[in-house]
Structures are given as structure tokens and as C-alpha cells.
Amino acid sequence: MANYSLIVNFDHEMVSKFNENNQKLVIVKESEESNVDVAWITFSPFEINDVSWSEEYGLYASCSDVTGQAVIQKSSYVANASEQQLYLFTNGTFNLASTDLSLGENTYEVKNGMPTTTKMLTFGLAQDVTANGINYAGKPINAVPVMYNESATFTPHERIKIFMQSNLDDGMVISRIKSDSLSLDFTDKTDITVKYDSSCGRFVEE
């Protein structure tokens, strides 16, 4: 299980301006299965920010709709989910995980076996992350509506987008990213350092 570290640096003037204007540092994990971005973590920045996480995922179910600026609220959650497993969601919880070797490595599957008064439930992966010494447990990283008796598969990637924006909170569906974002790929590295470059109004790698 790999561990990852992101250092985010700001100069004194810019971090003061962002905090005065209630702009947060926003990190989004990229996902192939979801058509929407979800704010994995948002926080008010310091001059030096240390973000870390491990390659370990949970599965969640939610009654929240996947609409612009909705906040995904977990209704059920299984931590430390196992890859190449099919998780059946019934009676409001995840049950009867079974091995499915037809799934690729690092792939998780969930089946919605719970009829509801709504048309579908929202499912996705969640992951712990620590920012500036504070642990944020089980934060959703994607969101996929799944109808009754249908399944969805999730294959996470260690790729993120980072940007500054106001009016965003953890777990919020992002209808539109208003700032320039920097994409970072941790596939072949575990430590990346970036800084905010005021001359171009975006983050750049150091």
C-alpha cells in the first residue's frame, strides 16, 4: 500500500489574500466512472500545506442527488474495501462481498439491491486524507447514480486536480471549476511539491 504526500506552498501576500476572500484550496481526485467532479477536500490554506493519504479506499452509499453543488452525504459506508470484490447493497448496508476475478486489479464493484421510493441511489469510493495535521475520514472522491438491481464498478487513480475557489465544501458536486486547475499524476511518484504562482494565477510544480 503506497503512501502519498503533496506539499502546497504560497507566498505571504497571496495566502493572506485568499483567506481574506474566503477562498479555499480544493483538491479533486480524477475518476473515469463519474461524469461529475466531487471536491475531495477543501480547506483554508497556510503558507506551507502538507496533504497526505494512503492507497486505501472505502465504498459509500448516499441518498444525495448528483446535481450541481449538492453535497454528498454518506448514508452507509464500508471502510477498507477490498479490490476485485462485488459488494451487494441491501437493507441499507453493504453485505455479502464476493470475489469477482473478472474485475481488473484495483477495481471495486457495488450492486444496488435495495428498492427505494427514489429512482436510484448514489454510490462511489471514499478515501481518508490528512491536511495540515487534521484527518478527514472517508471523504467521497466520486459519485455515480445507480438504479435498483444495477451495478457500478470503480477503478481509482492517483491523479488529482488542485485549484483555489470559494463557496466549495468537502463532498460538494462541482458543476464548473471557475479557476485554472493543475493536474498532478502520482502514478509513478509518491511526493510532489507545488506552489501558487501569482504571475499566472495558478499552481505550478516546483
Domain that holds residue 65: 3-205
| Mean pLDDT score, 191-203 | 96
Band the pLDDT of 101: cuts 50, 70, 90: confident
CA distance 171 to 6: 20
- Comparing CA positions, the residue from 1, 3, 25 lying closest to residue 132 is 25
| Strand, coil or helix: 82 | coil
Q: In this model, does residue 113 exceed pLDDT 70?
A: yes
Total count of domains within the chain = 1
Residue with cell 441511489: 121
Question: What number of CA atoms fall less than 13 Å from residue 8's CA on the CB side?
Answer: 26
Q: In this model, does residue 118 exceed pLDDT 70?
A: no
Instruction: Give the CA diameter of the chain.
Output: 54
pLDDT tens digit sequence for 122-165 = 999 999 999 999 999 999 999 999 999 999 999 999 999 999 99
CA distance 99 to 90: 18
Q: In this model, does residue 116 exceed pLDDT 80?
A: no
CA distance 110 to 117: 20
Question: What residue spans of 11-168 are helical by DSSP H?
Answer: 12-20
pLDDT at 33: 66
34 CB-near residues (< 8 Å, 6+ apart): 124, 142, 143, 144
Rounded to 5 degrees, what are φ and ψ at 86?
-100, 120
pLDDT tens digit sequence for 54-96 = 999 999 999 998 887 899 999 999 999 999 999 999 999 998 7
CA distance 92 to 111: 12
